Chain A
Amino acid sequence: MKQILLTYVHNISNAVTAFLLPERAYNEKAEPPLWVMVSKEITDIVHSWRFLILFALIIMTAVGSVIAFELQYSEITRDIKIDDKIFFLRIFTWKNSIFLMVMQYLCPVLGICLGFDAINSEQTKGTLSRVLSQPVYRDYILLSKFLAALLVVSLLFTVLMMIMFAWGLLSLGVGPTLDEFLRLLWYLFLTIVYVAFWLNIALFFSGIFRQSSASVLTCISAWLIFSVLAALPFEISSSFSLNPIFAYQQAIMILMTPELEGLLKVPIEYAGGVRPTLLPLNQNIIIAGGFITYLIAGSVALFAMSYYFFMRREIRSR
């Protein structure tokens, strides 16, 4: 166990040195090919313009919502009652906050941009047959693309959440309760799964279509259709519950704004004007369970599908 941990630390430190000091990053021991491929993919992602642009957009969203919160701080805190049990979460969910909404639209774009040309660009460049004639398993190609993108996204979001968290602590002067902290962890987890879902859609189409333009258009149209369906009034959009955007929206709403969850199911007039009480996190998770399970299962199913098609394909040069 310790050995495994040590090799991990060694690998990570090597990757960091390779990034910071490319000339000195010599490694004396042979690394497993999968790791070699994943680290190459990570370098490719980090150096690609489209990732950098989305990265900038996400940072801007976070900074924007922070500034907006600071500007309207007094107004927000006036509205919030002192016994508010989800006081800390307000930095993400106060009524004019753009963070959750923008993230909900940016995540699919991020997933698509990281995956839409993963397989077909290697094919058109002619590198696919070159890599496949090396002693690596064919699934490493798919796996390395997926793992690299997921690693970068997880790291990015974790750091982002940590910064927002730290800033929240400083700005509010109040720490989160354990319940709130766990809710934030769930938010982070679900958002990463959500990106993985779209990443898998993109990987799937990149394996199906020869042209990366065809796969990006298909991904974008899927995103557009799902977005429109999710934007419809609740009575209509809820009938398309296999819509990943809808599933993510609902799950996040249930977890992050638990007081709205009751309103969602029973309009307040029918509930006799009684505002539903706040449910504990585990109850919320049970309510959102269907959506959460769908996002994870859908993600896995899509990966399995791209795997199936890719493994059966004959790889010719170009």
Chain B
Amino acid sequence: MEPVITLTHLTKKYRDFTAVSDISLRVNKGEIFGVVGPNGAGKSTTILMMLGLTEPTSGEACVCGVNPVTEPVKVKQIVGYLPEDVGFYDDRTGLENIVYTARLNRVPEVEARQRAFKLLDRVGLADVANKKTGQYSKGMRQRLGLADVLIKNPSLIILDEPTTGIDPTGVHEFLELIACLREEQKLTVLLSSHNLHQIEQICDRVGIFRDGQMVAEGSPSDMSLKIFGDKTHSLDDIYNTFFTVKD
């Protein structure tokens, strides 16, 4: 299996505060990797370092064979990133917004429009393509965000809490779409979320973050076997063993 993401001893310090400390990780091609952990555990900072949006204090990240610190633009060509609570130009239509993204990726305008229509159809926004994004609901914005990420034909997509604020059916459709895309295009997906149930449904492997460290990593059943001695425990139980308040 060829690795798509390789993190080696990645560390990020803000003055005295260590946001991410000594994280090593490998994500293989075609995998869906879930990242869970409380707020401020260093999930987003790790993601930012993979994209070259922040420089690591020490350690190294390698994404699709490229070092994001030295070649940030090259990384962004092959990685699609959906930040949590993604923003669009509200005075432009959904179509215009993602065509703009495509053109920033050096896709000619005609092709950009064709791709955009196809993707908008795929995420179920074809009928509102020419509506301004200011009128979109939260769920529609997230789906448009997914189209926006996919329009550059990435080989890896990173989704930072993509399902917050969407209704349950919306979440279900969203996750199904991601699973579908993985099957069709052999996409690698890195997904961070607070919803353990969703993560367990869709992810092959999960990393649990606490205070800037990755305290556990592996498929839910493997982790269950390691901690409880059998494979029946849910991710919820596993997660709680790391975060219960001890007397």
Contacts and interface: CB of A to CB of B under 8 A. Distances in A.
Candidate in B44, B74, B81, B109 with the most chain A CB atoms within 10 angstroms = B109
A30 B108 contact: yes
Given A133-B53, A133-B76, A316 B85 contact: no
Interface in B166-220: none
Contact of B104 (A125, A134, A316): A134
What size tier do the contact residues of chain A reach?
20 to 34
B63 to A, nearest CB: 12
B120 interface: no
Given A133-B53, A137-B73, A29 B104 contact: no
A270 interface: no
B245 interface: no
A31 B87 CA distance: 24
A317 B107 CA distance: 25
Contacts of B85: 126, 317-318
Given A127-B88, A130-B86, A134-B101, A316 B48 contact: yes
Contact of B105 (A130, A135, A315): A135
Interface string B108-150: 1110010000000000000000000000000000000000100
A40 interface: yes
A132 B53 contact: yes
A25 B103 CA distance: 14
A317 B48 CA distance: 10
Top 4 nearest A-B pairs by Cβ distance?
A126-B87, A317-B83, A133-B81, A27-B109
Interface of B: 44, 48, 51, 53-54, 73-74, 76-77, 79-81, 83-91, 100-101, 103-110, 113, 148, 152, 160
20 contacts: A30-B107, A31-B106, A33-B103, A33-B106, A126-B87, A127-B89, A130-B86, A130-B101, A131-B104, A133-B53, A133-B80, A133-B81, A135-B74, A135-B77, A135-B104, A136-B104, A314-B48, A314-B54, A317-B86, A318-B85
Given A135-B106, A317-B83, 8 more contacts: A27-B109, A128-B87, A133-B79, A136-B76, A136-B104, A314-B53, A314-B54, A317-B84
